[in-house]
Structure 1
Amino acid sequence: MSYRELVTRPVLAWCAVAVTGRLPVAMAPLALVFLVRERPGGYTLGAVLAAAYVLGEIVAAPVLGMRTKAERARPQLAAGLAAGAAGFAGPALAPGAHPVVLGAFAFLAGAGPAAVPGALRALLTGLVPERAVTQAMSVESILTFAIWAAAPALVTGLALGAGPGVPLLLQAVLMATATVGLWLLPPGWATGPQDRGASARALLRAWPVYVLGAAGLSLLALAELILPALLDQRGIGIGWAGPLLAGFSLGSATGAFVYGLRSRWPGSLPVQSVVLVLGVTAGVALLAVLPWTAALAGVLIAAGLLQAPAMLTRNLALRQILPPSALAAGYSVMYAAVGAGYAVSGSLAGALLKVVAPSTAILCGVALTVLLTAVGAAGERRLARRSPAAQEPAAGAPVRKVRR
């Protein structure tokens, strides 16, 4: 199936809701830093607020994902998006509030809509034929990386040109718009008979998929958070950090597009995932040893080309392993897992930068990623042996037909 066949009114409406709902998420950490950077200890406070936001996402995603009712998800998703809009509007309207109050708003902004990405993915795959699921998920990934590429420039321009609270105010408006946009989409998605106990057990059995997902995004944390310090170590202007990271995001969007050109790729999804994650790992490791700006740019673009397909294979693997009734919750748990991987890797990198050179910190983070990949791959191999259905060839094409 080609991408042209996805150009339908329901899918385009879904894209509009996804953009308005996810752009605020991509803008959030940097917007919180800009909001308070001029206060005493502003950068430290900004980092704490960003951490509170991410913590809200990590804590709430699996809880809310499990509680989302598939056939009648719209009211729950609308409530979550409305809570997120309120969480963004609070700091924008009261930037001088006590740090604890700002932290509570940040936590609410992260926690409220935490189940929305997983639910939107379940909605998207219900809007297209089964044979088009890989292409649909590729479109989602392209949108996501395009949003993440544009968000830093948007936040910086608005904060410096219009005011530090303007980005957060825009985020509140966008999330409120996404809330209204939900009524352009189906009220939910069909899953067939639901057994919450069985779904919970299936979610627990899928832990290797989450570990590999966390390993993949831990590499993104290394690239984003250590790159400025690495450029300084190399004697390269720190202003190159933005263009280099934009190249990574654009490479990822391209990789998602290429992966979606075929419904099947050689090898099983677990094998694809491990190979792709290790490829990104090799690229990030090269950052620690290459001294030239052009070489760093080439490596980041190449790593980005593999990053998006690596995440796509994880989401497609969940469709193989989980019953339809647990898919939205599984996507939400994955969302939390990759957020945790990003946070752990970023925290490790920040701590190491105090005692070692940036290049050494990157290599230590790479070692952590390799360890997570090995654990996830071993667990998924055991999972495949226990579940014969998971061993069927499905390099990009789910084996289960979802009742619609």
Structure 2
Amino acid sequence: MTVLNETTAPTTAPPRLPDPHHAAASWLSVLRLPHCARLLGATLLGRLPLGVAPVALLLAVRDQGGSYTWGAALAAAFGLAVAAGQPMLGRLVDRIGQTIPILTGALLSAIALTVVPVAGTDRPITQLTAALVAGAAAPPLEASLRALWSQVVPSAAHLRAAYGLDSGSQELVYVAGPLLATAITALAGSTTALATTGLLGLAGAVTVASSTPSRAWRPTRTRTAGILGALRPAGLRTLLLALVAVGAALGALTVSALATAERYGIAWLSGALPAALSIGALIGCAVCTAIPWTESLGTQLVQAGAGFAISWLPLCLGPGPNASVVLAAVPGMFFGALLVSAYQAIDVLAHPGMVTESYGWLVSAFGVGTALGTASAGPWHGSLFVPAAAAATALALLHAVQSRLDRGMRS
């Protein structure tokens, strides 16, 4: 296998299955490869709006005297539009390449974010439309990067390490995003915060799209998969349903964390529990890519799913505030391992020539699941049994897809 150089013109590659006799590769070894550090760093920069915009939209509405309800509605509209737009833009990438969808999407999204504070709360339809456009046009950087990894790393071990580095580092977007939104708003106002958010996203998108691997990437010409597109393979649909359930567990935790904070009378718990899970995910990604693998891909996915499901149970027992923070990191660690295996599963199950759209659906699955989990946890007053039930559902679905993964079947 050859690492991409300045003269290599890649297309989508066949999936690289884990080799049980292959030693693990480190994250540092991935970052030292040509193009990898630039692609990862620019993708994280370009995806910052996904973490910043929801909070910045809420703060912009409040700055203009609007209600929390309207601010939350704009933030939710942005998130749902992202979930709808990613697979559609991914499909476009699979047809015409990465450059136009990434650059056009980033530019439209940046302009739309600027329109929200300019329109003001006295023009709610304009604000809502702008929030929807900003989300739907968000460039498919996450999916595009995962389509590029197999082109810029030299082995299956490096590919697994790249997926671990990718999934672990994306947690930084959702940790740093709200902090950045709050800081810029406090220093320069909400209008500047949204404008800066769009510019950061545009800068990251330009850096990715102008890189040699992205410019040289070409779609694989293949017969159409029909109206379902990338969703045609049954195994992929089952995997995506499992990831919706995983996302539901994460979304429910947001409400559960607030309920836990109110129950103990400790406000910081509402942020500490999700943060602990994110830190756990980063650790889990690092650990599962630092050691050699011996199990089949389907077994790895089910084992990670089982750990994710079981690790919610101690939290359901109400262990106390400090112990809850520590225990919240445990499902995060299994979530990190699950993500790495899920990325490899997409490579195996995706319809030929539709890998970017398939990764777009993965992003969408998590977004839809998070929204469903947040909504479903409310009537149960933030009970931690809700994320536990969602995780158990995910495990059942992962068992259903295991045999297809191990046979490398796409239909």
TM bracket (short chain): 0.7 to 0.9
The residue type equivalent to 1:218 in the other structure is A
Aligned to 2:290: 261
| SS of aligned partner of 1:238 | coil
| CA RMSD of superposed structures (Å) | 2.5
The residue type equivalent to 2:238 in the other structure is P
Task: Tell me how far 1:279 sits from its aligned partner.
Answer: 2.3
Aligned to 1:45: 70
Q: Distance in 1 between matches of 2:407 and 2:302?
A: 20
Q: Distance in 1 between matches of 2:390 and 2:273?
A: 23
- Count of residues in Structure 1 that have an aligned counterpart in Structure 2: 380
Superposition map of 1:267-286 within 5 A: 267-286=295-314
Q: Distance in 2 between matches of 1:134 and 1:381?
A: 18
Q: Distance in 2 between matches of 1:305 and 1:329?
A: 27
Task: Tell me how far 1:310 sits from its aligned partner.
Answer: 1.0
CA contact (8 A) 1:123 1:188 kept: no
Instruction: Determine if the alignment matches structure 1 residue 184 to structure 2 residue 205.
Output: no
Structure 2 counterpart of 1:136, from 162, 177, 187:
162
From the two aligned structures, give the one with the greater helix fraction: 1
Identity %: 22
* Structure 2: 5+ residue stretches without partners: 1-24
| SS of aligned partner of 1:56 | helix
CA contact (8 A) 1:203 1:330 kept: no
Instruction: Determine if the alignment matches structure 1 residue 300 to structure 2 residue 328.
Output: yes
| SS of aligned partner of 1:352 | coil
The residue type equivalent to 1:274 in the other structure is V
Q: For residues 224-264 of structure 1, what are the alpha-carbon distances to aligned partners after superposition, in whole Å with 9 as ceiling and x for unaligned?
A: 232012211133x11233233322212211211122213x5
Task: Tell me how far 1:97 sits from its aligned partner.
Answer: 4.9
Instruction: Determine if the alignment matches structure 1 residue 213 to structure 2 residue 235.
Output: no
Q: Distance in 2 between matches of 1:67 and 1:239?
A: 43
Instruction: Determine if the alignment matches structure 1 residue 233 to structure 2 residue 263.
Output: yes
* Structure 1: 5+ residue stretches without partners: 392-404
CA contact (8 A) 2:62 2:68 kept: yes
Residues 164 and 52 (structure 1 numbering): CA distance in 2 closer, same or farther, change over 3 Å? same
Superposition map of 1:117-128 within 5 A: 117-128=142-153
Higher mean C-alpha deviation, range 291-300 or range 30-39: 30-39
Instruction: Determine if the alignment matches structure 1 residue 322 to structure 2 residue 343.
Output: no
Aligned to 2:186: 160
Q: For residues 97-135 of structure 1, what are the alpha-carbon distances to aligned partners after superposition, in whole Å with 9 as ceiling and x for unaligned?
A: 522211111111111025332112212332112321111
Residues 388 and 252 (structure 1 numbering): CA distance in 2 closer, same or farther, change over 3 Å? closer
Q: Distance in 1 between matches of 2:294 and 2:82?
A: 34
Structure 2 counterpart of 1:61, from 69, 86, 91:
86
Superposition map of 1:67-106 within 5 A: 67-69=92-94, 72-106=97-131
Task: Tell me how far 1:174 sits from its aligned partner.
Answer: 0.5
Q: Distance in 1 between matches of 2:388 and 2:70?
A: 28
Q: For residues 239-292 of structure 1, what are the alpha-carbon distances to aligned partners after superposition, in whole Å with 9 as ceiling and x for unaligned?
A: 233233322212211211122213x52433333223323323333343332242
Residues 170 and 204 (structure 1 numbering): CA distance in 2 closer, same or farther, change over 3 Å? same
Residues 216 and 349 (structure 1 numbering): CA distance in 2 closer, same or farther, change over 3 Å? same
Aligned to 2:27: 3
Residues 350 and 158 (structure 1 numbering): CA distance in 2 closer, same or farther, change over 3 Å? farther
Q: Distance in 1 between matches of 2:268 and 2:408?
A: 50
**TM-score under structure 1 normalisation?**
0.86
Task: Tell me how far 1:83 sits from its aligned partner.
Answer: 1.4
Task: Tell me how far 1:148 sits from its aligned partner.
Answer: 1.7
Structure 2 counterpart of 1:18, from 43, 46, 55:
43
Q: For residues 289-308 of structure 1, what are the alpha-carbon distances to aligned partners after superposition, in whole Å with 9 as ceiling and x for unaligned?
A: 22422211111122221111
Q: Distance in 1 between matches of 2:399 and 2:122?
A: 46
Q: Distance in 2 between matches of 1:212 and 1:8?
A: 33
CA contact (8 A) 2:247 2:365 kept: no
Structure 1 counterpart of 2:385, from 339, 363, 378:
363
Task: Tell me how far 1:382 sits from its aligned partner.
Answer: 5.9
Task: Tell me how far 1:22 sits from its aligned partner.
Answer: 1.0
Task: Tell me how far 1:91 sits from its aligned partner.
Answer: 1.7
Q: Distance in 1 between matches of 2:72 and 2:123?
A: 15
Q: Distance in 2 between matches of 1:286 and 1:114?
A: 39
Q: Distance in 1 between matches of 2:258 and 2:84?
A: 29
The residue type equivalent to 1:388 in the other structure is R
CA contact (8 A) 1:80 1:116 kept: no
The residue type equivalent to 1:371 in the other structure is T
Q: Distance in 1 between matches of 2:262 and 2:221?
A: 57
Q: For residues 160-198 of structure 1, what are the alpha-carbon distances to aligned partners after superposition, in whole Å with 9 as ceiling and x for unaligned?
A: 343233332221110121232121242153554422227
Q: Distance in 2 between matches of 1:68 and 1:223?
A: 33
Structure 2 counterpart of 1:197, from 186, 206, 225:
225
| SS of aligned partner of 1:129 | coil
Aligned to 2:11: none
Residues 243 and 370 (structure 1 numbering): CA distance in 2 closer, same or farther, change over 3 Å? closer
CA contact (8 A) 1:2 1:261 kept: yes
Aligned to 2:407: 388
Task: Tell me how far 1:381 sits from its aligned partner.
Answer: 4.2
Residues 313 and 370 (structure 1 numbering): CA distance in 2 closer, same or farther, change over 3 Å? same
The residue type equivalent to 2:274 in the other structure is L
CA contact (8 A) 1:64 1:114 kept: yes
Aligned to 1:397: none
Q: Distance in 2 between matches of 1:171 and 1:274?
A: 38
**TM-score under structure 2 normalisation?**
0.84
